[in-house]
Chains A and B, each alone.
Chain A
Amino acid sequence: MDKVSKLELQKVACKVRMGIIEGVHAAKAGHPGGSLSCADILTYLYFKEMKIDPKNPKWEDRDRFVLSKGHAAPALYAVLAQRGFFDEKELLGLRQIGSMLQGHPDLKNIPGVDMSTGSLGQGISAAVGMALSAKHFGNDYKVYAVLGDGEIEEGQVWEAAMFAGNRKLNNLVVFIDNNNLQIDGTIEEVNSANPIDRKFEAFNFNTFVIDGNDFDEIEAVLKKAESSDKPVAIIAKTVKGKGVSYMENAVNWHGAAPNDELYEQAMQELNAAYAELN
C-alpha cells in the first residue's frame, strides 16, 4: 500500500465512518463523536504511514499504535476491519456479549490492537514504554498514539510526556485529537489544557498544529516528524462528529447512539459523500 492516493484515503475514511455509525447503532451505545473526529488520522496511519501486516498482527517489528483515548474504539475497529485485520461483520457485534469487540480496546482478543486502553491517561505511558523498548533493544519500529484533548487533563499524560521528552524518544509520535469538546462541555468550560502545543513544547517535544481532518496536512506533518530528534506532538484540530451533520461539534454525541431514524440519516449522508468520491 505504498502509493495510496488522497482519494483512496478519503474513500476509506468514509467507509470507516460508516463502520463507526453501524457499530454504535447496533450496540445502542458507544462514542461516535470522538470516533468520527479522529477517523482521518487513524485511516492515514493504518493505510499509509504504519509498517504493519494484517496477516501477522503480532509481527515483532511492526509499528505500534495506541489509542489512548480508548473510547474512540469504534474508529479503531472500523479501521482495522477496513485494513483486513478482521471481517467487517464483526463491527455489528460492538459492545455485545460474545463479541471480541469490547467497549474499549482489548489487546488480548482483538487482532491489531496493540494496547488495552480506555482508562484515560494510561495509553500514552504504554506508548512511551513501547518506544523505550524499541530504543533499548535496538528495534527500529515507531510508536503512534492518539490522545483526546480532554484526556490530557489527566496528570499521568504529563508524567509520560516528561519521560519521553527527557529520553528524547524520537520514535514516538503523539496526536492530540483536538476537537475541543468533552463530556461536560467545551474544554475551555471544563478545565482547559490550552495552550496544548506550548505545553508539549515545554516537555521537550517537537510540536505541530494541523487540521486533523485534512490528509494533506497529516501527510506533511508526518514527513516532518520523520527527522525529529525529539518525540513529536501533533495538535490535530478536528471536528467532533465529523461527517455526520447533526453530530458535528455537538457535545451530546460524545457518548450516545443514534436511533434508527438518525442512523438512516447518518448513513445517507456518508453514502452520499462516498458517491461523490467516485
Chain B
Amino acid sequence: MSEVKSVATRVGYGEALVELGNVRDDFIVMDADLAAATQTGMFKKNFPDRFYDCGIAEQNLMGIAAGIATTGKKVIVSSFAMFAAGRAFEQVRNSIGYPHLNVVIGATHAGISVGEDGATHQCCEDIALMRTIPGMTIINPADATEARMAVFAALDCDGPVYLRFGRLAVPIIFDDNYKFEIGKGVELKEGNDVTIIATGLMVNEALQAHELLKAEGINARVINMATIKPLDKEIVIKAAKETGAIVTAEEHSVIGGLGSAVGEVVGEECPVPVVKLGVYDVFGHSGPAPKLLDEFGLRAVNIAEKAKKAIALKK
C-alpha cells in the first residue's frame, strides 16, 4: 500500500487561489496580516497587484469586502476562523449577510488542530455562528483536493460563502475524479447498520472508523458532509430511514455545528438516534495537534464507540 500524502486544506486553498489567478482576473484577494499562515501568501507572491493586506483589522476587512462586492466585483478575504467568524461576526452578518453580497471568506486555522497556539486561537464556534446568518453557505472540506474544488465553486456562488480550512496536514482522500458540489453530501462507504456523517478532518477518521466497525461485523455508511449549510437534507433523511441511527463527527463544538444541523433535520423529518461527536462545550489548550485530537476524542476509535452507542439506542 502506497503511503498516503498529507496536505493541509489551507494549502489546497492557497494553491486554488493561484490556479484561479492564472485563468481569471475578475477578483481581489485580501488578508488581515496572516497571508503567510492562511496561504493567501501564495496568491500575493504570484499576483502582488491583485492582493490587498488590510492589516490587523478584521472588522474593516469584512466591510471592505462588502463594499467591493456591491460594485459587482468578486473578492476573497482571509483570516483565522476565530477572527473571521468570531471577531468580525457582526460585520459578516450586517455588511455581508444582510445585503447577501458575493463575498468568499476563507477562514483557516479552524478547530482544536490549530495546536500550540491554544484556546484563544482554537475556534470551535465558527460553524455555529455562521449557520445563524440567513443565506450563508458554509463549506468545510475534508482534504486539500476538496478544498481546491470548494474554492472554485465558491467564487461563482450566489451570496456569501464561508470556507473553513485547517492548519494541520491531513491525508488526501480524494483524487481529481472526485465530484464536489455545493450542498451535496457524498456517500463514501455503503452500510446499513448506522451512518457516520462527518465533515472536515473527521472524514478521514470516519473512513477508519468504518474499517474498525467492519471488523466487529457492523456495516457503517460514511457520508462526507462538506457543505454544512445549505445542508443536504435528502441524504440525511435517506440515511436515517435506511440505517436507523446516525453519528455526526466534527472538529467543532457539538453546540450549533454539523451535529446540530443533522439533528434538526432528523428530529423533524425522521426521528432516529443522532449521537454527536465533537468538542463538548470546553475550550481547547496548547499542544501538538495530533495529541490534542487524541485527547479531545476526535479519532476513529471515538467515532466507532459513538456508532455502537447510536445502534444501541435504536428502538
| Chain A residues proximal to chain B, CB less than 8 Å | 60, 64, 66, 106-108, 114-116, 118-119, 121-134, 136-137, 139, 155-156, 159-160, 162-163, 167
CA distance A129 to B70 in the complex (A): 9
Give the distance to chain A from B32, nearest Cβ to Cβ, in Å: 10
Interface check B203, CB cutoff 8 A? no
**Majority SS of interface residues in chain A?**
helix
Q: List 21 A-B contacts (CB under 8 A).
A: A66-B67, A107-B70, A114-B70, A115-B70, A116-B95, A122-B59, A125-B63, A125-B64, A125-B91, A125-B95, A126-B67, A129-B64, A129-B65, A129-B71, A132-B67, A133-B71, A134-B71, A139-B71, A163-B54, A163-B57, A167-B52
Asked whether A119 lies within 8 Å of B67 as measured between CB atoms, the reply is no
Provide the bound-state CA to CA distance between A85 and B91, in Å: 28
Q: Are A126 and B94 in contact (CB under 8 A)?
A: no
> Which A-chain residue is minimally distant from B65 (CB atoms)?
A129
Q: Is the interface of B mostly helix, strand, loop or mixed?
A: helix
Taken together as a complex, chains A and B put the C-alpha atoms of A122 and B90 apart, in Å, by: 9
Query: Chain A residues with Cβ under 8 A from B98's Cβ?
Result: 106, 116
B64 to chain A, nearest CB (A): 4
Given A129-B64, A160-B63, also A115-B55 (CB < 8 A): no
A-B pairs, 4 with minimum CB distance: A129-B67, A125-B63, A159-B60, A126-B67
Contact of A107 among B50, B59, B65, B99 (CB under 8 A): B99
Report Cα–Cα, A118/B98, bound state, in Å. 11
Does B105 lie at the interface of the complex (its beta carbon under 8 Å from any beta carbon of A)? no
Task: For A118, give its contact among B50, B66, B94 (CB under 8 Å).
Answer: B94
- Report yes or no: A129 in contact with B90, Cβ–Cβ below 8 A: no
Q: Which residues does chain A contribute within 8 Å of B57, judged by CB atoms?
A: 156, 159, 162-163
Residues of A within 8 A of B54 (CB): 159, 163
CB atoms of A125 and B59 under 8 A apart: yes
Least CB distance from A257 to B in Å reads 24
Chain A residues with CB under 8 A of B67: 66, 115, 125-133
Q: Which residues of B contact A126 (CB under 8 A)?
A: 63-64, 66-67, 70, 95
| Residue from B28, B50, B62, B72 within 8 A of A125 (CB atoms) | B62
Contact between A163 and B94 (Cβ–Cβ < 8 Å)?
no
Contacts of A60 in B (CB 8 A): 71-72
The 8 Å CB contact of B94, one of A116, A127, A139, A155, is A116
For B73, give the chain A residue with the smallest CB separation: A133
- B71: chain A residues at CB < 8 Å are 60, 64, 129-130, 133-134, 137, 139
Residues of the A chain whose Cβ atoms lie less than 8 Å from the Cβ of B91 = 122, 125, 156
- B contact set with A: CB distance below 8 Å: 28, 50, 52, 54-55, 57, 59-60, 62-73, 75, 90-91, 94-95, 98-100
Residue of B nearest to A68 (CB): B63
Of chain A, the residue at the smallest CB distance from B71 is A133
A129 adjacent to B59 (CB under 8 Å):
no
Q: Are A132 and B63 in contact (CB under 8 A)?
A: no
Q: Which residues of B contact A159 (CB under 8 A)?
A: 54-55, 57, 59-60
Chain B residues, Cβ within 8 Å of A106: 98-99
Q: Closest Cβ of chain B: how far from A60's Cβ, in Å?
A: 7
Asked if A129 and B63 make an inter-chain contact with CB atoms under 8 angstroms apart, the answer reads yes
- A residues in contact with B73, CB < 8 Å: 133, 136-137
Given contacts A66-B67, A118-B94, A159-B55, 14 further A-B contacts (CB under 8 A): A60-B71, A108-B99, A115-B67, A115-B99, A116-B99, A122-B63, A122-B95, A125-B63, A125-B95, A129-B63, A132-B52, A132-B68, A159-B54, A160-B64
Taking a contact as CB atoms under 8 Å apart, the answer to whether A132 and B94 are in contact is no
Measured CB to CB, the closest approach of chain A to B94, in angstroms, equals 5
Give the distance in Å from the alpha carbon of A163 to the alpha carbon of B63 in the complex: 12
Max chain B Cβ within 10 angstroms of own Cβ: one of A114, A119, A134, A159: A159
Given the complex of chains A and B, what is the CA–CA distance between A177 and B40 in angstroms? 38
In the complex, the answer to whether A128 meets B60 with C-beta atoms within 8 Å is yes
Beyond A122-B94, A163-B55, is A130–B68 a contact (Cβ under 8 Å)?
Answer: yes
Question: Which residues of B are found within 8 Å of A125, using beta-carbon distances?
Answer: 59-60, 62-64, 66-67, 91, 95
Taken together as a complex, chains A and B put the C-alpha atoms of A127 and B95 apart, in Å, by 11
* A108 vs chain B, min Cβ distance (A): 6
Closest to B95 in A: A122
A160-B95 in contact given A119-B90, A134-B71 (Cβ < 8 Å): no
- Cα(A119)–Cα(B91), bound, Å: 9
CA distance A47 to B60 in the complex (A): 30
A85 shortest CB reach to chain B, Å: 16
- CB atoms of B59 and A156 under 8 A apart: yes
Inter-chain contact B66/A115, CB cutoff 8 Å: yes
- Report how far A128 CA is from B62 CA in the complex, Å: 11
A116 nearest in chain B by CB position: B99
The CA-CA distance from A134 to B28 in the complex, in Å, is 12
Q: Which residues of B contact A162 (CB under 8 A)?
A: 55, 57
Taking the closest CB of chain B, its distance from the CB of A59, in whole angstroms, is 11
A108 touches B100 (CB 8 A): yes
Most B CB within 10 A of own CB, among A60, A107, A122? A122
If A119-B90, A125-B91, A159-B59 touch, whether A132 touches B99 (CB-CB below 8 Å) is: no
A66, B28: Cα distance in complex, Å? 21
Separation in Å of the B273 CB from the closest CB of chain A? 41
CB-nearest residue of chain A to B94: A119
Among A115, A121, A125, A163, chain B packs the most CB atoms within 10 A around the CB of: A125
Residues of B near A131 (CB, < 8 A) are: 67
**Which B residues are CB-close (under 8 A) to A133?**
28, 67-68, 71, 73
